């Protein structure tokens, strides 16, 4: 996956706001790359542009060598949002089956795949529950199962664990690491939490506050599998944190300036 | 236990009212004005046994059974189209708002002139009345719907009619059900009003004729049939709603306590 010279301007009333400066980013196959930045830096916008939900003002996005234009091209992309992406009128298993039905999978294969996905995320017992009956963590698991069900090469995750309590978040980070290692997906993960970014990623990218540009890109060399619960004491964590935190900290202090044009 | 007590007390309350009515009739108030439960009961069984009432019941029920689904379907279809296509909403919106402001039963005499005194004019009235409620609710549902849900569906590979049928309609089904539920009694009011004015058969006609003869017993008999008609229709829509909206938290709670 590659992002070339992408910028984004929004119009708010009569003002133009530059949300993203000039972004060039390459995510190699199988890589777990995190984008970390302060709120309002445009990190979610990057993910929404790749998914085709918003268009880039300039620049190009390529996924597996194909230029992406709009949502229709995105069969190779799975998407896990901050909240509320599951269909509440469907059960957990029907939610996971939805993309397969859309692709015309026959019933038997659909059932097999749904069972496999629910087992992968540990939700086999909740297959027939409606979404409102699931806890916050279970909803995230269901969303991951849905996004992976049609076997996309790339998984986009937009602050997926932001709304969870810290224990549930760590458990899901551990699960995600496992799922990633088992499936070999390319993951682009957006977060405002530097610890999360370091704990999960091969590469961590720090974005500046608006207009977002890439401020630093760091290979995180911590050994895998990583012990998420004790990530702080894992060799290499402190170095990575000390490299990135001052950069992020500067952005938090910087006056909130989505630059007005 | 609590439910049992409530049921018993409710029954007693009804019985007291009936006994008081029976006693009042002919003692405090003249019997021809308020009839009495025993006379009404007697007439009720008489019209059922003689079969006299059935053509009226059938006429009213048919008008609702044909007109109501049509009104609901037209309403949902136009509400959907106007919700999805802004230009259409801008073109038709003011006209529909204007029509909505007119009390729909005002159309009854007009429809009788246009479609005759038979069932067609009653059907037309039911269609019109139920159309508006379902149209406005469906339209409101689509306007309040989170558009992101369509984008997710597209990202998940859904296209065209699948998005309409499997995503948009379920997403706004609470609104649609509100439209259906609130238009049921209005649809019956529409038919009966039409039948009051001019009809060849129908419970409205039956009641009007009874009133015309100062036959209060017959009037109450007609009203009892109307009561049961609305009660049955309400029960059917409630069942439908419980089925359609079984994924919503409140409905689950209702289903469990029932």
In a domain, residue A72? The reply is yes
Q: Do A132 and B248 touch (CB under 8 A)?
A: yes
Question: Among partner residues B155, B166, B247, which is closest to A79 by beta-carbon distance?
Answer: B155
Residues A186-200 have a mean pLDDT of 95
Mean pLDDT of chain A: 90
Number of domains in chain A: 1
With CA atoms as reference, report the closest residue to A254 among A45, A38, A43, A22.
Answer: A38
Find the mean pLDDT for residues B231-237: 95
Read off the pLDDT of each residue in A65-94 and give the average, rounded to a whole number.
87
Measure CB to CB from residue A132 to each of B154, B162, B249 and give the nearest one: B249
Q: What is the pLDDT of residues B60-79, one digit of tens each?
A: 999 999 999 999 999 999 99
CA dist B122 and A202 (Å) reads: 71
ipTM of the prediction:
0.88
Q: Is the pLDDT of residue A73 over 90?
A: no
Residue A181 domain-assigned (yes or no): yes
Q: In what order do the strands lie in the sheet with A203-207?
A: A77-80, A154-158, A186-191, A32-36, A203-207, A214-219
* pLDDT at residue B252 tops 70: no
Distance CA B37, CA B220 (A): 9
- Report, as an integer, the average pLDDT of A61-70: 85
Q: Answer yes or no: is A129 within a domain.
A: no
Mean pLDDT of B33-60: 94
Give the model's pLDDT for residue A72.
67
Q: Do A71 and B148 touch (CB under 8 A)?
A: no
Q: Quick check: B45 contacting A, CB < 8 Å?
A: no
Position A218 in a domain: yes
Does any domain span residue A198? Answer: yes
pLDDT of A68: 84
**Mean pLDDT along residues A213-239:** 91
In a domain, A260, yes or no: no
Q: Which of helix, strand or coil describes residue A45? A: helix
pLDDT given for residue A116 in this prediction: 96
**Burial letters B201-223, b for 16+ CB under 10 A, else e:** bbbbbbbbebeeeebbbbbbbbb
CATH class of the B37-257 domain in this structure: mainly alpha
A-chain residues near B157 (CB < 8 A):
75, 99, 102-103, 150
> A71 and chain B: CB distance < 8 Å anywhere?
yes
Facing residue for B247 by CB, picked from A52, A130, A146? A130
Angle between helices A136-149 and A107-121 (to 10 degrees): 140
- CATH code at A172? 3.40.50.300
Cβ–Cβ contacts within 10 Å for residue A148, how many?
Answer: 22
User: Could you tell me the pTM of the whole model?
Assistant: 0.87
A119 lies in some domain:
no
**Residues of A with CB below 8 A from B173's CB?**
89
- Residues in chain A with CB shorter than 8 Å from the CB of B153 are 98, 102
How far does Cα A123 stand from its chain's mean position?
20
Q: Find the residue in B nearest to A54 (Cα).
A: B151
Domain that holds residue A51: 2-84+156-161+168-253
Q: Is residue A134 part of a domain?
A: no
pLDDT tens digits, B159-217: 989 999 999 999 999 999 999 999 999 999 999 999 999 999 999 999 999 999 999 99
- Residue B244 to chain A, least CA–CA distance (Å): 9
With a CB cutoff of 8 Å and minimum separation 6, the contacts of A198 are A34, A204, A220, A222, A231, A237, A240, A241, A244
Q: Which of A6-15, A105-114, A167-176 has the lowest mean pLDDT?
A: A6-15
At residue B229 the predicted structure's pLDDT band, cuts being 50, 70 and 90, is very high
Residue spans of beta strands (DSSP E) within chain A: 2-12, 15-26, 32-36, 58-63, 66-67, 77-80, 154-158, 186-191, 203-207, 214-219
């Amino acid at each position: 996956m590659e992002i070339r010279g992408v910028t984004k301007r929004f119009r708010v009333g009569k003002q133009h706001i530059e949300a993203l400066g000039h972004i060039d980013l390459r995510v190699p196959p199988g890589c777990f790359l995190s984008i970390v930045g302060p709120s309002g830096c445009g990190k979610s916008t990057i993910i929404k542009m790749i998914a085709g939900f918003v268009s880039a003002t300039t620049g190009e996005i390529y996924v597996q060598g194909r230029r992406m234009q709009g949502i229709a091209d995105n069969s190779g992309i799975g998407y896990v949002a901050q909240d509320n992406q599951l269909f509440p009128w469907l059960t957990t298993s029907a939610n996971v089956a939805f993309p397969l039905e859309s692709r015309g999978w026959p019933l038997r294969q659909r059932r097999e795949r749904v069972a496999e996905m629910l087992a992968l995320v540990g939700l086999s017992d909740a297959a027939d529950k409606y979404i409102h009956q699931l806890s916050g963590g279970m909803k995230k698991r269901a969303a991951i199962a849905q996004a992976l069900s049609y076997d996309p090469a790339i998984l986009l995750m937009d602050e997926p664990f932001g709304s969870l309590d810290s224990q549930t978040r760590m458990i899901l980070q551990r699960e995600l690491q496992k799922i990633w290692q088992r499936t070999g997906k390319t993951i682009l993960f957006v977060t405002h939490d530097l610890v999360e970014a370091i704990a999960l990623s091969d590469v961590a990218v720090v974005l500046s506050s608006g207009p977002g540009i890439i401020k630093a890109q760091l290979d995180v060399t911590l050994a895998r599998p990583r012990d998420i619960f004790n990530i702080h004491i894992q060799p290499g964590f402190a170095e990575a944190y000390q490299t990135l935190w001052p950069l992020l900290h500067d952005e938090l202090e910087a006056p909130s300036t989505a630059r007005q044009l | 236990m609590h439910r049992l007590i409530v049921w018993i007390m409710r029954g007693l309350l009804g019985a007291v009212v009936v006994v008081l009515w029976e006693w009042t009739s002919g003692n405090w108030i003249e019997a021809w004005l308020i009839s009495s439960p025993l006379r009404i009961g007697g007439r009720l069984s008489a019209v059922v046994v003689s079969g006299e009432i059935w053509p009226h019941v059938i006429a009213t029920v048919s008008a609702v059974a044909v007109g109501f689904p049509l009104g609901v379907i037209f309403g949902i279809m136009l509400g959907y189209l106007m919700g999805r296509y802004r230009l259409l909403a801008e073109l038709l919106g003011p006209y529909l708002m204007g029509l909505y402001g007119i009390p729909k039963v005002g159309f009854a005499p007009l429809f009788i002139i246009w479609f005759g005194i038979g069932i067609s004019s009653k059907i037309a009235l039911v269609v019109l009345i139920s159309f508006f409620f379902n149209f406005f609710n469906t339209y409101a549902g689509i306007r309040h719907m989170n558009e992101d849900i369509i984008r997710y569906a597209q990202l998940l590979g859904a296209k065209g009619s699948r998005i309409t049928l499997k995503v948009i309609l379920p997403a706004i089904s609470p609104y649609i059900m509100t439209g259906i539920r609130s238009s049921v009694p209005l649809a019956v009011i529409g038919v009966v009003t039409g039948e009051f004015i001019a009809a060849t058969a129908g419970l409205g006609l039956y009641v009007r004729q009874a009133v015309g003869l100062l036959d209060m017993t017959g009037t109450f008999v007609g009203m009892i049939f109307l009561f049961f008609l609305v009660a049955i229709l309400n029960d059917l829509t409630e069942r439908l709603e419980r089925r359609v909206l079984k994924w919503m938290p409140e409905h689950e709670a209702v289903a469990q306590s029932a």
